[in-house]
Chains A and B, each alone.
Chain A
Amino acid sequence: MAGRGMVREMEPAVSARGVTKSFGRQKVLDSLNLDIPSGVTYCLLGPNGSGKTTFIRAIVRLLHLDKGEMSVLGRPVSEVDKIYSQIGYMTQHKALYPDLTVQENMEFYAGLYGLTRQHREERIEELLEMVDLLEHRGRLAGALSGGMYQRLSLACTLIHEPELLLLDEPTVGIDPRLRQTFWEYFDRLTREGKTVLITTHLMDEAEKCRMVGYMRAGRMVAQGTPEEILSQAGLRPLLKLWLAEPERDAALLRAQGYEIDVVGGVVQARLESHAQIKEVLAAVSPLDMRLMEPKLEEAFLRLSVGA
């Protein structure tokens, strides 16, 4: 889980203020405020129909907003068509030609973005290796399995080394091992200063992201780093300690200002931050311990009720 450094003080890659969009009478985006800093993986979470895809389509101006302002890579969204070559957009539809081979699909997209012949070959080689499709390059895309098809779609989206990646549900149907490869690749991209926006409805994916935004019915319920969201919801990590003299050590920790419970002889400390683990261990010497991380899912549930 690299990339947990400081959020750089830069212009956000995407910034939305009061963004509103209705289809007929239904408000799909409702006064949405959102900032995606440059150089991070940002996970847009939310149940089906919460407006995630609509928001991505608004970023690339496939639909026009009713209200609100938005900027993309430092430009107003009205000029986004001038920087399409810096954006990689992967739709849920995969956008591949089943009657072309893996290699031909890649060549086609490389050609659209004007990659030179040599550069093109290098990129295709590198990306097919990343998505583990090298030995399938001569196969028709239509003959690939669902997961392979998905991987090829991702490779095609990355072909032109975009500054801003917009990935709509990119890991659906991908096995855990490859999913891990993807996340490592995304981390590498963010270290190069690129920004990755991912939509998903899987919580465990969200926890891998530098930043998370949770949408519900077109509104932003909460956004920030996973830690920030947990603390907003009042959820803190719980440190369970097995001690030789639980009652004495519990009193000691309470005296230092910790919130302590003793349940069945096990001392439980609610921490403000992970940094406190060290301080607790300086005060007591447990026989055994376990850190219980609060779940983002629970945080979102709490925050949704409040919203």
Chain B
Amino acid sequence: MSLNLGRVGVVALRVVRQLKRDRRTIGLIVFAPIVLMILFGYALSGDMSGVALGLVDGGGHAALRSHLVSIQDFDILYLGSQSDAEKLITEGQLDGAVLLQPEEVRVLLDASSLQISGAIAAAVQAGASKEKAVLQKAQESPIITRYIFGYDLEMMDTVGPAILGLVVFFFTFINAAIAFIRERSQGTLEKFMVSPLSRVEMVSGYVLGFSLFTILQSATTLFVVTFGFGVPLRGSPFTALAVVLLLGAGALVLGSFFSNFARSEFQVVQFIPLIITPQIVLCGIWWPLQSVPEFIRPFSYILPLTYAAHALRAVMLKGAGISDILYPDLLALGVFFLIFFAAATLMLRREVA
């Protein structure tokens, strides 16, 4: 199998010329990250308001009480007894209730909404620790809870790096799959097969051409994410770019490989729920890998976005360098790329013969 860089360049130039002419795709490069940041950054931020919380004040716990009342997201309703609280929760009027009694604190929660009940439980915990701090002030120093990385991070900050990976993966996969479908339907693939251009050169040309496109897309997305949404960029943008380029190359060969299983552009779009959605759900950004059920978790570890999101998070939020993310993230992305590069080139032949 020969590899002539001149021919690789010829294919790359052609791919760039075609993409350059595709105004809609160019527009999507800019607007997609903005839309996704708004969707995932704000809507899924975990911040909530209007939580209806019942409070039965049986005495004591002044610090906890004032903490709960001070939380703006909670609408506090003062109640007379536990049975009132239970009734209102059952009827759906309240999301939960806290019963303060001198000897104990009782928390009643609506189990149908895990996130809201989690927020209430967390608030009670926080209030209790404040109370503890006040009580023990004389003897001990207050308890200081320290979170490593992200003590002041918002959802936006953790989502930002993943958006960068997601945008590049999504568009490269779709564009590559459609491009290869067209190579088949236009007859150009058949013509390549009868030219000095080898399969490796053809796929390499695509990787090169799309990489220039990926650089543009990454730069735009990084700009939008850091300047538009204030996500920190503690590491080097070039390290982030290296991760994204490797991810983009993987998405390209994956798209090329899957184009063998579609007969039209329409069918490529049907791959989205199968290929893209699992990556979004399982990549560990919106829901931590630890919360993914164990029987599904192995899938998380074969999906490239899992590693890319992890690495990008490390680079952007922790300031990690190349050597910090080499293993396992870059290694995994590299292996993924090589496997599907081989698969994509082999499938090109099989399809025609």
**A64 CA to B193 CA in the complex, in Å?**
14
Binds B, one of A3-11, A41-49, A97-105, A219-227: A97-105
| Smallest CB separation, A119 vs chain B (Å) | 14
Q: Inside 8 A of A89's CB, which chain B residues have their CB? A: 191, 194
Distance A111 CA – B18 CA, assembled complex (angstroms): 16
**B17 pairs with A100, CB closer than 8 A:** yes
Q: Which residues of B contact A85 (CB under 8 A)?
A: 195-196
From B136-144, B182-190, B249-257, the one touching the partner chain is B182-190
Within 8 A of B (CB), among A64-117: 64, 84-85, 87, 89, 91-100, 104, 108, 111-114
B48 within 8 Å of A by Cβ?
no
Residues of A within 8 A of B (CB-CB), count:
24
Interface centre among B4, B13, B188, B353 (most CB of A within 10 A): B188
> Closest chain A residue to B187 by CB distance?
A93
Chain B CB within 8 A of A62 CB: yes
Contacts of B6 in A (CB 8 A): 111, 114
Residue of B21, B187, B194 touching A60 (CB-CB under 8 A): B194
Q: How far is the CA of A111 from the CA of B190 in the complex (A)?
A: 17
Is there a chain A Cβ closer than 8 Å to B10's Cβ?
yes
Cβ-based interface call for A251 (8 A): no
Q: Is the CB of B188 within 8 A of A96?
A: yes
B14 within 8 Å of A (CB atoms): yes
Q: B9 — which chain A residues lie within 8 A by C-beta?
A: 111
Bitwise interface map of B from 191 to 209 toward A, beta carbon under 8 Å scored 1, else 0: 1111111000000000000
Q: Which residue of B lies closest to A105 (CB)?
A: B14
Q: Mark B1-44, 1 if CB is under 8 A from A, else 0.
A: 00010110110011001100110000000000000000000000
**Contact yes or no, B188 A63, CB < 8 A:** no
A112-B186 in contact (CB<8A): no
The reply to whether A95 and B186 contact each other, CB–CB distance below 8 Å, is yes
CB <8 Å contact, B196 and A84: yes
What is the CA–CA distance of A62 and B195 in the complex, to the nearest angstrom?
Answer: 12
A48 CA to B352 CA in the complex, in Å? 21
Q: Which residue in B10, B14, B196, B197 is a CB contact (below 8 Å) of A97?
A: B14
Tell whether, in the assembled complex, residue B195 and residue A84 are in contact, meaning their CB atoms are under 8 Å apart: yes
Residues on the A chain within 8 Å of B22, using CB: 99
Quick one: which of A63, A84, A95, A108 contacts B353, CB cutoff 8 A?
A63
Q: Cα distance A62–B184 when bound, in Å?
A: 14
Residues of B within 8 A of A95 (CB): 186-188, 190-191
Give every chain B residue within 8 A of A62 (Cβ-Cβ). Answer: 190, 193-194, 352-353
The answer to whether A93 and B186 touch (CB under 8 A), given A104-B17, A114-B6, is yes
B328 to chain A minimum Cβ distance, whole angstroms, is 39
Q: Which residue of A lies closest to B14 (CB)?
A: A108
Give Cα A96–Cα B187 distance, bound, in whole angstroms: 8
In the docked arrangement, what's the CA distance between A85 and B196, Å?
A: 6
A100–B195 Cα distance when bound, in Å, is 20
| Bound-complex Cα distance A98 to B22 (A) | 12
A153 to chain B, nearest CB (A): 9
Indicate which residue in A63, A94, A97, A112 contacts B195 across the interface (CB closer than 8 Å): A112
> B7, A112: Cβ atoms under 8 Å?
yes
Cα distance A95–B352 in the bound complex, in angstroms: 15
The reply to whether A64 and B353 form a contact with Cβ atoms under 8 Å apart is yes
Interchain Cβ contacts under 8 Å between A and B, 19 examples: A62-B352, A62-B353, A85-B195, A91-B187, A91-B191, A93-B190, A94-B187, A95-B186, A97-B14, A97-B18, A98-B186, A99-B21, A100-B21, A108-B10, A108-B13, A111-B13, A112-B197, A114-B6, A114-B7
Interchain residue pairs A-B with the least CB separation, the first 6: A93-B187, A111-B10, A95-B191, A95-B187, A89-B194, A60-B194
- Other contacts beyond A62-B190, A87-B194, A96-B188: 7, CB < 8 A: A60-B194, A95-B186, A97-B186, A100-B17, A108-B13, A111-B6, A112-B10
